[in-house]
């Protein structure tokens, strides 16, 4: 990408990337990739995002804790008496393994398969009304990052496919997105969905999505893969280190920009986040940075296709 090319955008001109809480290890690399995105246009873009604490906030204005997608389910009133207790036992056993900094990933994978399998077995053999999830999820439709609606509107207008990846419970994810009115046709949720047999819950549908296969390799051969595999400009967003690998499985030549939202134990985590994500946003509860990037892509797109009316004044360069 030639820095002298007309329309080349320099890092220092993108205001949202120059904010104090926006940490970037390699500004030149980020500048280059953003310019690739701008020149490639919306047709080459896709977005891959984690759900829990990436689309939902890590910290809310009113201090109310946001439940994870599994948390929304576990909170449902009609679950059998010992469900929560048993589920907590599994959590207390496997969660430390999941985040153990010393255990090699292949070893962890076995444990994660065990965890999701046992959780599926526990989530079996009793009736359950999905409306309960809707009730629980409804509380969190307003706990999405500020300006999530604007982000999803732009993605829809630019026809950029969005993959929401969650190793959590898909029914909760879909319910929150639906009730927030952002589950547009360009948005696809890949996650674990409840299965029913003879009116009773029967665990989760295949394929199992756990922490370490939560990436585009699970899409192989699917309809969605066909839709996105030529889109080699990818924005990845997540709040956990593992989320940075969600685009694994896309062609090696792809340009991937990784945005990480860091909130807890900022100092202890900073180095790892900086080494893992291209852009680290510290306690940023908005979608302003991804919106700014889309704004640049959209603006160039409009210059090339002037017959397309600007659809969101807030996304013009002057507002970035």
Positions marked catalytic: 50, 52
Using CB under 6 A as the binding rule, the residues of this chain from 218 to 237 that contact ligand M7G are none
Chosen residue from 42, 136, 168, 290 binding ligand M7G by CB under 6 A: 168
Q: Quick one: which of 138, 122, 148, 199 has its CA closest to 172?
A: 138
Chosen residue from 211, 213, 215, 285 binding ligand M7G by CB under 6 A: 211
- In the bound state with Mg ion, the residue whose beta carbon lies nearer, of 123 and 240, is 240
Closest separation between CB of residue 73 and ligand M7G, Å? 8
How far apart, in Å, are the Cα atoms of 245 and each of 24, 189, 239, 249?
18, 17, 12, 9
Q: Give the whole-angstrom CA distance, residue 104 versus residue 4.
A: 45
Residue range at the interface with ligand M7G (CB under 6 A); choices 45-53, 75-83, 181-189, 282-290:
45-53
Q: Is 87 in the site for ligand M7G (CB under 6 A)?
A: yes
Q: Quick one: which of 30, 37, 96 has its CA closest to 259?
A: 30
- In the bound state with Mg ion, the residue whose beta carbon lies nearer, of 52 and 288, is 52
Place of tokens 């029913």: 196
Q: Is 261 in the site for ligand M7G (CB under 6 A)?
A: no
Q: Is 53 in the site for ligand M7G (CB under 6 A)?
A: yes
The beta strands (E) that lie in the chain are given as 22-24, 45-50, 162-169, 187-192, 194-197, 200-204, 233-238, 255-262, 279-282
Contacts of 118 (CB under 8 A, 6+ apart): 90
Q: Is 74 in the site for ligand M7G (CB under 6 A)?
A: yes
Contact 193, 205 (CB under 8 A): yes
Chosen residue from 39, 83, 91, 224 binding ligand M7G by CB under 6 A: 91
Q: Is the dihedral of CA 268, 248, 46, 316 positive or negative?
A: positive
- In the bound state with Mg ion, the residue whose beta carbon lies nearer, of 37 and 51, is 51
Chain centroid to Cα 180, Å, comes to 16
Q: Which two tokens stand for residue 86?
A: 């048993």
Q: Is 216 in the site for ligand M7G (CB under 6 A)?
A: no
Closest separation between CB of residue 77 and ligand M7G, Å? 16
Q: Is 16 in the site for ligand M7G (CB under 6 A)?
A: no
Contact footprint for ligand M7G (CB under 6 A)? 50-53, 68, 70-71, 74, 87, 90-91, 95, 98, 115-116, 119, 166-168, 211, 214, 240
């Amino acid at each position: 990408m030639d820095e002298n090319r007309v329309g080349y955008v320099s890092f220092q001109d993108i205001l949202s990337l120059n904010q104090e809480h926006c940490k970037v290890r390699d500004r030149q690399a980020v500048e280059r990739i953003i310019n690739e995105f701008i020149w490639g246009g919306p047709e080459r873009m896709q977005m891959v995002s984690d759900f829990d604490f990436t689309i939902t906030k890590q910290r809310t204005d009113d201090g109310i804790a946001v439940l994870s997608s599994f948390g929304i389910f576990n909170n449902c009133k009609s679950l059998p008496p010992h469900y929560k207790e048993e589920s907590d036992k599994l959590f207390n056993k496997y969660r430390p393994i999941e985040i153990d900094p010393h255990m090699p990933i292949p070893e962890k994978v076995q444990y994660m398969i065990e965890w999701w399998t046992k959780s599926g077995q526990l989530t079996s053999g009793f009736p359950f009304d999905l409306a309960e999830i809707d009730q629980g999820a409804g509380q969190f439709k307003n706990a999405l990052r500020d300006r999530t609606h604007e982000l999803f509107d732009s993605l829809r207008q630019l026809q950029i496919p969005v993959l929401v990846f969650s190793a959590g419970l898909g029914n909760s994810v879909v319910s929150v997105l639906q009730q927030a009115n952002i589950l547009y046709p360009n948005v696809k949720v890949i996650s674990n969905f409840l299965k029913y047999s003879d009116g009773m819950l029967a665990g989760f549908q295949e394929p199992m999505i756990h922490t370490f296969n939560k990436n585009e390799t699970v899409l192989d051969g699917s309809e969605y893969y066909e839709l996105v595999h030529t889109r080699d400009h990818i924005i990845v967003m997540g709040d956990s280190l593992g989320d940075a690998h969600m685009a694994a499985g896309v062609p090696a030549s792809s340009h991937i920009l990784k945005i990480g939202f860091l909130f807890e134990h900022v100092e202890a985590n900073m180095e790892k986040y900086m080494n893992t994500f291209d852009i680290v946003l510290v306690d940023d509860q908005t979608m302003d940075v991804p919106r700014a990037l889309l704004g640049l892509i959209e603006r160039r797109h409009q210059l090339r296709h002037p017959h397309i009316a600007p659809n969101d004044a807030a996304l013009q360069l002057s507002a970035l």
